Structure 1
Amino acid sequence: MDGHLAVTSTGGVIGNADYLNHKRREYEKRRGQMQQTGTRSAHLTMKSLGGRFANWSEDYLHRVSKALVQEALAHDCTHIAFEKLKHIRNRISNASKFQQWAFRRIQEYTEYKAAE
Structure 2
Amino acid sequence: SKKTKELPRSTFKPTSSVHYDKRTYSFKEGALSLYTLSGRIVLPMALGKPQKEYLRIGNPKEAQLVYRNKKWFFNLVFDIPDVPRSAPSGKILGVDLGENVVAATSSGKLYGGRQLRHKRDCAVAQRRRLQRKGTKSSQRKLKAISDKEARHIKHTNHSISKAIVQEAVESECFIIALENLTNIRDRIKATKRVRFRLHGWAWAQLQRFIVYKAHAAGLTVVFVNPAYTSTTCAECKQRGIRVKHRFVCKICGIQRHSDLNASLNISRIAASADAATGAVNHPHMEAALA
Normalised to the residue count of structure 1, the TM-score between the two structures is 0.79
Gaps of 5+ in 2: 1-97, 217-290
Q: What is the CA–CA distance in structure 2 between the aligned matches of 1:30 and 1:92, rounded to whole Å?
A: 24
**Alignment correspondent of 2:108:** 11
Gaps of 5+ in 1: none
**Alignment correspondent of 1:92:** 188
What is the CA deviation profile of residues 1-38 of structure 1, one whole-angstrom value per residue up to 9, with x for unaligned ones? Answer: 6722222121222223x544433332222122223333
Q: Does 1:63 align with 2:169?
A: no
Q: Does 1:33 align with 2:129?
A: yes
Q: What is the CA–CA distance in structure 2 between the aligned matches of 1:53 and 1:111, rounded to whole Å?
A: 23
Match for 2:112: what amino acid?
A: G
Q: What does 1:34-53 correspond to in 2, within 5 Å?
A: 34-53=130-149
Which one has a larger percent strand, Structure 1 or Structure 2? 2
1:65–1:110: 8 Å Cα contact kept in structure 2?
yes
Q: What is the CA–CA distance in structure 1 between the aligned matches of 2:99 and 2:130, rounded to whole Å?
A: 33
Determine which structure has more spread, i.e. the larger CA radius of gyration.
2
Note the C-alpha offset of 1:101: 3.7
**Alignment correspondent of 2:64:** none
Q: What is the CA–CA distance in structure 2 between the aligned matches of 1:5 and 1:35, rounded to whole Å?
A: 27
- My pick for the range that moved more, 30-39 or 58-67, is 30-39
Match for 1:4: what amino acid?
A: V
Note the C-alpha offset of 1:61: 1.1
What is the CA deviation profile of residues 71-111 of structure 1, one whole-angstrom value per residue up to 9, with x for unaligned ones? Answer: 11111111111123433344332276234443322111001
Q: Report the 3-state secondary structure (helix = DSSP H, G, I; strand = E; otherwise coil) of the residue aligned with 1:112.
A: helix
Q: Report the 3-state secondary structure (helix = DSSP H, G, I; strand = E; otherwise coil) of the residue aligned with 1:80.
A: strand
Q: What is the CA–CA distance in structure 2 between the aligned matches of 1:70 and 1:104, rounded to whole Å?
A: 20
Distance 1:24 1:69, change over 3 A: same
Q: What is the CA–CA distance in structure 2 between the aligned matches of 1:35 and 1:101, rounded to whole Å?
A: 19
Q: Report the 3-state secondary structure (helix = DSSP H, G, I; strand = E; otherwise coil) of the residue aligned with 1:23.
A: helix
**Alignment correspondent of 1:103:** 203
Aligned length: 115
What is the CA deviation profile of residues 31-73 of structure 1, one whole-angstrom value per residue up to 9, with x for unaligned ones? Answer: 2222333333222211111111111111111111111111111
- My pick for the range that moved more, 51-60 or 85-94, is 85-94
Query: Sequence identity, in percent?
Result: 34
**Alignment correspondent of 2:150:** 54
Q: What is the CA–CA distance in structure 2 between the aligned matches of 1:42 and 1:104, rounded to whole Å?
A: 29
Task: Give me the CA root mean square deviation.
Answer: 2.4
Distance 1:86 1:44, change over 3 A: closer
Q: Report the 3-state secondary structure (helix = DSSP H, G, I; strand = E; otherwise coil) of the residue aligned with 1:82.
A: strand
Normalised to the residue count of structure 2, the TM-score between the two structures is 0.35
Distance 1:105 1:94, change over 3 A: same
